[in-house]
Amino acid sequence: MTKEKNELWEWTKALLIAIGLAAVIRYFLFAPIVVDGYSMMPTLHNGDRMIVNKLGKPERFDIIVFHAPEQKDYIKRVIGLPGDTVEYRDDTLYINGKPYAEPYLDSYKSQIVEGPLTEDFTLEETPVGQKTVPEGELFVMGDNRRSSKDSRHIGSISIKKVIGDTNMVYWPFKDIRYVK
């Protein structure tokens, strides 16, 4: 009888440890997310399932997940870091006056028949309302520039609202890929 009790207790402990580890990993290290919408096309597709890495700090051009003002989590690309000037002219991104290539937009740009993919703007013309990205904030944009609600509409986002970055699609199985 005591041998059965000990075995039951050992299984219970193992189960509790597994649940505890899973909770720690999910809460502090990694979390799943489902892409909802088309604002990150062609890089990400509606329904893609990804893993969010909660470690590290966001860098330029990372794809991040953050808490948006609409009580919803958004997935966008980091364009401007604190202190950066961000501007678009003639469908070219300029950060601190220097032009940057955006190879992740090439497939969309090649399909454009009329007008630019990204309309011209400066930070002062967005809800950010100043020349540079504020300290502790990020300027983010979706890859589907014509159909993305991003910092051009909601302003810069606090780094504190960032859940983490993501670059691995694990579902649907046929679309498993690393994205950048």
Query: Hey, which residues are catalytic here?
Result: 39, 76
* Spatial CB neighbours of 144, under 8 Å, sequence gap ≥ 6: 38, 39, 40, 41, 42, 108
Nearest to 74 by CA among 143, 156, 162: 162
Q: Residue 55's CB: how many other CB atoms inside 10 A? A: 9
CA distances from 62 to 8, 24, 52, 53, 144 (A): 47, 24, 12, 11, 15
> Is 14 exposed, middle or buried (CB count within 10 Å of its CB: 0-12, 13-18, 19+)?
exposed
Q: Rounded to whole angstroms, how far apart are CA atoms 156 and 141?
A: 10
Q: Rounded to whole angstroms, how far apart are CA atoms 89 and 93?
A: 7
Q: Rounded to whole angstroms, how far apart are CA atoms 86 and 100?
A: 11
